[in-house]
Structure 1
Amino acid sequence: MDECAERCLAGGQCIHGDLEDRKGFVCLCPRCYYGSICQRNTELFSFTLETLLTYDLYSLSVAVQQVFSSLLIIIPAILFVIGALNNVCCYATFNRTKPLLVGIGHYLRTVSIINQLALLSLLLKLIHTVFSIKGHIVHHTMNTISCKILSYFLSCTSRMSYWLMGMVAVERVYVTWYLKGTWLKSPRIAKCIIATIIVGIVVSNIHEVIFYQSIEDPKSSDTNNSTWCVTSYPSIIATYNQANAILNYIMPFLINFLSTIILTILIIRKKWAIATKKIREHSHTLQNMRATFHSYRNLFTENKELILAPLITMLPQLFSLPQFILSFSLACQELKVSWQRYLLIVSYFITYLPQVLSYKLYVSPSSFYKKEFNLTKLGKKITKWQKKIVKKNRNNISNT
């Protein structure tokens, strides 16, 4: 038994059998590493798509392999198309003059671009994963570049979206607290913050480009040159990677969470004070007691946009919460049990729902943004198309 740095990853120990046979060895992997060459890293926040997918892509059943491979391409393709429709509508809305007068418009316009880049990265990453594990990508240089760039882009775009939505929440608190404040909602400040976030995340995740690598699986058959897109971090970089992943989730979540609480309290206090003042002007008869109840109920109904707005900015982190919890719960487990893998895979796709449903989340709940969208060329065409459908349906009903 000796160390085989050239065969076993993560410092795994190698037991040789037939030295002439390239498959004649077994890797004894360190803690939290599994697989034929210790390629599956299951440390905290170190799960990769390959870690979750390889069991089923290497299934003994050909039918399971084909169905699973097809789903892994069809599902992200559907998400990409739906996301494209939403993000194009979002971009058209926030690219107008009025939304861009304040910082929030700039954040949301940038988010709509980054969201679609994230969905594109997800689609290309899964296509690359399926094709490389199946041995369909034979050009080593192209395989390595795809492995590094797609993994890196996927991490960066997802994290940029979290931070930018956090800044939307911060600006909403600022303009609610300081009604006459102009500094933080300035478009110039927003552009500087956007640039800082993008550069900061690009630089802080650069280690992924360096340490991601495409490695041929020596256990694969001679006719199937299966390759793995894996990370092999030194211990200090592995620690940094975990801290970086946790920081990029926890910090935007805390910013959104605290901003949501503060903003909700501020809005309710201001609106409640106005409603209470009106109620006190009337005598406390039974009829006016009923009016009081209706006034408080109407308070929430009339201001639901203001109250819902801070909650919506938290959705990206809330959708990521299942994956965050599962990553803690299932850390350093081999994930041989199907339900554990499938739960993580489902939670992984759930994290991309905010990127897919951006129009429904950021434009539809706001009467101002909906009005702006309807004034765009795209919005006018959609409105015209909807009117034609309504008119056609009415004619069909009248004819029957």
Structure 2
Amino acid sequence: VHFIQVIDNNISPENGSSFKNIPINKNSITIRWSHPFHIASIELSNKKYYLIIVQETYNQSINIVKTINPSDRCEHISEILNDAIAKFHLIRRIKYYHLVCQRRSSSLSCFYYDNYFCLCNDYDHHQRIANCFEFNSSIKHDCFRISNCENGAQCLQNRPICPQTSMCVCPLCFYGTRCQFSSSLFGLSLDAILGYHIKVNVNMKNQSHIVQISLVLTIIMIIIGLINGILSMITFKNKATHQVGCRFYLLGSSITTLLIVITFAMKFSILIIIQMTYNTNRSFLYIQCLSIDFFLRFFLNMDKWLNACVAAERAFATIKGANFNEKKSKQVAKYIILTLIFLTIRTTIYDPIHRRLLDDDDDDDSDKKRIWCIVTYSSNFRIFNSIVNIFHFCVPFLIDILSAIIIIIKTTRQRTTVQTHQTYGKLLREQIQQHSHLLVAPILL
């Protein structure tokens, strides 16, 4: 919010600014300003200006309640005048400013250009004129080049000299008080999605609906996941099922599914408790920051690869037919599982190395301090991280799809030798319907 004090007609107005982020779960903010001012305007992060108030005499004790409407917007001169006039020299162009106020008397209260801000004022109750004064909208207070903002965010301070508060202006795809969270495809985490919705020092009964619904859904998912994982382990642990290597993959997938549920339950509960109570045990916070996200990522990647191995072995067994060696498949499965564990750890071990704790202090409320677990990559390492995530996602997916296609085509060819009275197209459609789950499951997951 910019506050402008008009001192004298021959002296440039004094500018002051105050910054504040609008919380996720709120649609209003309160800003306190103790210095004299006559004009107040708000600047949003997209460089759009809205007029708040114009007062001829400064009132020290006034409380201003303002709802920002589209009609309060101060447009840039290039949006009002045509391109030809907008490119005129200032002295030649300025004579058109009174016409701007007169032609749009009901919808325009202010506009700006270069280093000037203009108000459309009523003169003698008959016509509107433009009243312009110096206002440097592009001024940057870079926090004396000592910024605590993350991910290349711009640090702003309320005054160039003796600043009292500062704020981070986040680049695209980043947000948070310190711009510590990423909203990109592979940058989203549970902390980033849910963290700011959790109210500090507020019990669960009075938390936002998003937090309460998330808790209920998480409990349901955990119960279903535990039941599914335990029953699957009991099924595939039976020695009668260990005839082929596919069963080892299924047993491994059951174990990783169970571990995913347990790890996610720990992650969710720790996040809720830490953000609600502001836990300051940094040793515990640091250990869980390094370990839980790493293990969750490792188990998720392992589960994808184990399911891909199941699909690949089924396709290989379909191709080999009666020549499929069950004993050899069990030996190969053990080596493949060990190899997958090694490779998955190697491709995710960099995650905890780049993790750290970040203190998020609220300048306006000392009771709303937070500690976040964040991961920070350089630009080159961010590209590498995206490549690793794409690899762990796309390759198992392609293996699942290609294996399903191989099974359908190979089974169709086998049926044509037996059911010679039916066309190949009809048999192919029957096999697609029969094995549709092999195609649908990877897409849904």
Tell me, yes or no, whether TM beats 0.5.
Answer: yes
Q: Is the 8 A contact 1:72 1:126 kept in 2?
A: no
1:7 aligns with 2:148: yes
Q: 1:239 aligns with which of 383, 394, 400?
A: 383
1:199 Cα deviation after fit: 1.6
Work out the CA distance in 2 between the residues paired with 1:130 and 1:22: 34
Work out the CA distance in 2 between the residues paired with 1:201 and 1:22: 48
Residue of structure 2 equivalent to 1:186: 329
1:119 Cα deviation after fit: 1.1
Residue of structure 2 equivalent to 1:153: 295
Residues 144 and 257 from structure 1, CA distance in 2 versus in 1: closer, same or farther, beyond 3 angstroms? same
Q: Is the 8 A contact 2:243 2:327 kept in 1?
A: no
Residue of structure 2 equivalent to 1:375: none
Work out the CA distance in 2 between the residues paired with 1:104 and 1:198: 17
Secondary structure of 1:134's counterpart equals: helix
Residue of structure 2 equivalent to 1:282: none
Tell me which amino acid in the other structure corresponds to 1:81: I
Residue of structure 1 equivalent to 2:97: none
Residue of structure 2 equivalent to 1:68: 210
1:20 Cα deviation after fit: 12
Residue of structure 1 equivalent to 2:59: none
1:117 aligns with 2:266: no
Listed one character per residue, the Cα deviations across residues 202-241 of structure 1 (whole Å, up to 9, x for unaligned) are 1211121111222121227322331222111111211111
Work out the CA distance in 2 between the residues paired with 1:86 and 1:260: 24
Tell me which amino acid in the other structure corresponds to 1:182: N
Structure with greater strand percent: 2
1:267 Cα deviation after fit: 1.2
Structure with greater helix percent: 1
Work out the CA distance in 1 between the residues paired with 2:208 and 2:221: 20
Q: Is the 8 A contact 1:107 1:190 kept in 2?
A: yes
Secondary structure of 2:156's counterpart equals: strand
Residue of structure 2 equivalent to 1:267: 411
Listed one character per residue, the Cα deviations across residues 162-192 of structure 1 (whole Å, up to 9, x for unaligned) are 1111111110111110121327962111011
Higher mean alpha-carbon deviation, 30-39 vs 18-27, is at 18-27
**Equivalent residues in 2 for 1:177-326, closer than 5 Å:** 177-179=319-321, 180-182=323-325, 186-219=329-362, 221-276=365-420, 279=421, 300=430, 307=435, 310-311=438-439, 315=441, 317-320=442-445
Q: 1:141 aligns with which of 269, 283, 291?
A: 283
Work out the CA distance in 2 between the residues paired with 1:142 and 1:49: 18
1:19 Cα deviation after fit: 11
1:99 aligns with 2:224: no
Listed one character per residue, the Cα deviations across residues 303-337 of structure 1 (whole Å, up to 9, x for unaligned) are 987x35744xx62x4234xxxxxxxxxxxxxxxxx
Over the aligned positions, Cα root-mean-square deviation in angstroms equals 3.3
Residue of structure 2 equivalent to 1:87: 229
Listed one character per residue, the Cα deviations across residues 3-55 of structure 1 (whole Å, up to 9, x for unaligned) are 76762112323223489999821113333222210112123421112222235
Which structure has more relative contact order (CA 8 Å, sep 6+)? It is 1
Q: Which runs of 5+ in 2 are unaligned?
A: 1-141
Secondary structure of 1:216's counterpart equals: strand
Tell me which amino acid in the other structure corresponds to 1:262: I
Larger radius of gyration: 2
Work out the CA distance in 2 between the residues paired with 1:205 and 1:140: 24
Work out the CA distance in 2 between the residues paired with 1:21 and 1:267: 78
Secondary structure of 1:38's counterpart equals: coil
Secondary structure of 1:215's counterpart equals: strand
Q: Is the 8 A contact 1:121 1:154 kept in 2?
A: yes
Alignment length (residue pairs): 297
Work out the CA distance in 1 between the residues paired with 2:255 and 2:164: 46
Work out the CA distance in 2 between the residues paired with 1:65 and 1:121: 24
TM-score by length of 2: 0.60
Work out the CA distance in 2 between the residues paired with 1:168 and 1:177: 14
1:158 Cα deviation after fit: 1.0
Secondary structure of 1:186's counterpart equals: helix
1:67 Cα deviation after fit: 3.2
Q: Is the 8 A contact 1:104 1:168 kept in 2?
A: yes
TM-score by length of 1: 0.66
Higher mean alpha-carbon deviation, 108-117 vs 137-146, is at 137-146
Work out the CA distance in 2 between the residues paired with 1:155 and 1:9: 23
Q: Is the 8 A contact 1:104 1:171 kept in 2?
A: yes
Tell me which amino acid in the other structure corresponds to 2:268: L
Work out the CA distance in 2 between the residues paired with 1:201 and 1:20: 52
Q: Is the 8 A contact 2:178 2:360 kept in 1?
A: yes
Q: Is the 8 A contact 2:245 2:326 kept in 1?
A: no
1:41 aligns with 2:182: yes
Q: Which runs of 5+ in 1 are unaligned?
A: 280-291, 321-400
Tell me which amino acid in the other structure corresponds to 2:155: C
1:92 Cα deviation after fit: 1.3
Q: Is the 8 A contact 2:168 2:179 kept in 1?
A: yes
Q: Percent identity?
A: 25
Secondary structure of 2:357's counterpart equals: strand
Secondary structure of 2:372's counterpart equals: strand
Residues 3 and 141 from structure 1, CA distance in 2 versus in 1: closer, same or farther, beyond 3 angstroms? farther
